């Protein structure tokens, strides 16, 4: 019988990560590569992902960069096909790419409504931009991962980045983003049921308030982080390194009897506030 720690080992396996230029996607890639996986790091900024991949190779990890806009279904297929051709396998796919664009209907700092984020001011372009990346891009990535994993005839793990925004309202967050994440979470459950018989697991990580570059780098401001952290029962925002162990768990054999679940990592945000 393998030890518990051996279940987390990704040596000899390969992983494909979208939205890997920074934040959670980069953290996922680091966790996988550090534990033996051969990783394809993808993102919209070629310069950024190439620099990050080079940094990780300097650490002795097997990482290559591949520019990708997940809203392009054809190129998503090509990117995954290239990964399989290079590695001969596709053991884990992280459908992580996402954007948060625009304000919610409430300005927490000013304690007042924010007209720019109200539903009647929602524009076609804003809605399309969010849905195209967060929902369509996730669906395309899952579809192409499933296609490749079925062709290989081996078990695999697909991990989707959702959000606690999929189940809880946040007045400070854009409505289009909220809707996209709710849709993503249900997509995970639907596809998990479909793919279970093929040994392909589909699960979601549901982060709460994690310090990343989403939203245009707003959280680079310590005061902004402090304000956001005040809504977290544990008293502060989370960091990417705190999500990395969960990513490794879902990608590896440590979670080989789990599918269709969404795991929150949020410092207690979903519990609600009590003061």
For the chain, give the secondary structure using H, E and C: CCCCHHHHCCCCCEEEECCCCCHHHHHHHHHHHHCCCEEEEEECCHHHHHHHHHHHHHCCCCEEEEECCCCCHHHHHHHHHHHHHHHCCCCEEEECCCCCCCECCEECCCCEECHHHCHHHCCHHHHHHHHHHHHHHHHHHHHHHHHHHHHHCCCEEEEEECCHHHCCCCCCECHHHHHHHHHHHHHHHHHHHHHHHHCEEEEEEEECCECCCCCCCHHHCHHHHHHHHCCCCCCCCECHHHCHHHHHHHHCHHHCCCCCCEEEECCCHHHCCCC
* pLDDT value at residue 106: 86
**CB 273 within 8 Å of CB 244:** no
272 within domain boundaries: no
95 within domain boundaries: yes
Could you give the CA distance from residue 174 to residue 101 in angstroms, rounded to a whole number?
7
- CATH number of the domain bearing residue 50: 3.40.50.720
199 within domain boundaries: yes
Q: Give residue 117's domain range.
A: 5-266
Q: Retrieve residue 187's tokens.
A: 């997509």
215 within domain boundaries: yes
* pLDDT value at residue 220: 64
* pLDDT value at residue 129: 96
71 within domain boundaries: yes
257 within domain boundaries: yes
Residue 244 backbone phi and psi in degrees, to 5: -55, -45
User: Percent of the chain at pLDDT above 70?
Assistant: 96
Handedness of CA 208, 46, 14, 61 (dihedral sign): negative
* pLDDT value at residue 109: 72
208 within domain boundaries: yes
Total tally of structural domains belonging to the chain: 1
Predicted TM-score (pTM) of the model is 0.94
Provide the annotated active-site residues: 177
* pLDDT value at residue 231: 80
* pLDDT value at residue 212: 86
Q: Which residues of the chain have pLDDT under 50?
A: none
Task: Tell me the pLDDT tens digit for each residue of 30-53.
Answer: 999 999 999 999 999 999 999 999
Of 216, 220, 211, 231, whose CA–CA distance to 272 is shortest?
Answer: 231
273 within domain boundaries: no
């Amino acid at each position: 019988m393998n030890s518990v720690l051996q279940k987390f080992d990704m040596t000899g396996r390969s992983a494909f990560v979208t939205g890997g230029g920074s934040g959670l996607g980069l953290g996922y890639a680091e966790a996988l590569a550090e534990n033996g996986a051969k990783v394809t790091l993808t993102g919209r900024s070629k310069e950024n992902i190439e620099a990050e991949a080079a940094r990780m190779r300097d650490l002795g990890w097997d990482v290559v960069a591949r520019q990708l806009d997940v809203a392009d279904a054809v190129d998503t297929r090509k990117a995954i096909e290239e990964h399989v051709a290079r590695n001969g396998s596709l053991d884990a796919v992280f459908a992580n790419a996402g954007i948060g664009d625009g304000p919610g209907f409430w300005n927490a700092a000013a304690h007042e409504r924010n007209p720019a984020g109200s539903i009647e001011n929602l524009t076609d372009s804003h809605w399309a931009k969010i849905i195209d990346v967060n929902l369509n891009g996730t669906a395309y990535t899952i579809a192409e991962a499933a296609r490749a994993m079925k062709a290989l005839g081996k078990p695999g793990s697909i991990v989707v980045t959702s959000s606690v925004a999929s189940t809880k309202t946040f007045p400070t967050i854009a409505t289009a983003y909220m809707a996209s994440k709710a849709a993503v979470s249900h997509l995970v459950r639907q596809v998990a049921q479909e793919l279970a018989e093929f040994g392909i697991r589909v699960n979601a990580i549901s982060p709460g308030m994690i310090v990343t570059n989403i939203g245009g780098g707003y959280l680079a401001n310590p005061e902004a982080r402090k304000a956001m952290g005040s809504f977290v029962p544990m008293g502060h925002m989370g960091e990417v390194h705190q999500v990395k162990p969960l990513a490794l768990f879902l990608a590896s054999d440590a979670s080989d009897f789990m599918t269709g679940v969404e795991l929150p990592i949020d410092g207690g945000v979903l519990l609600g506030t009590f003061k």
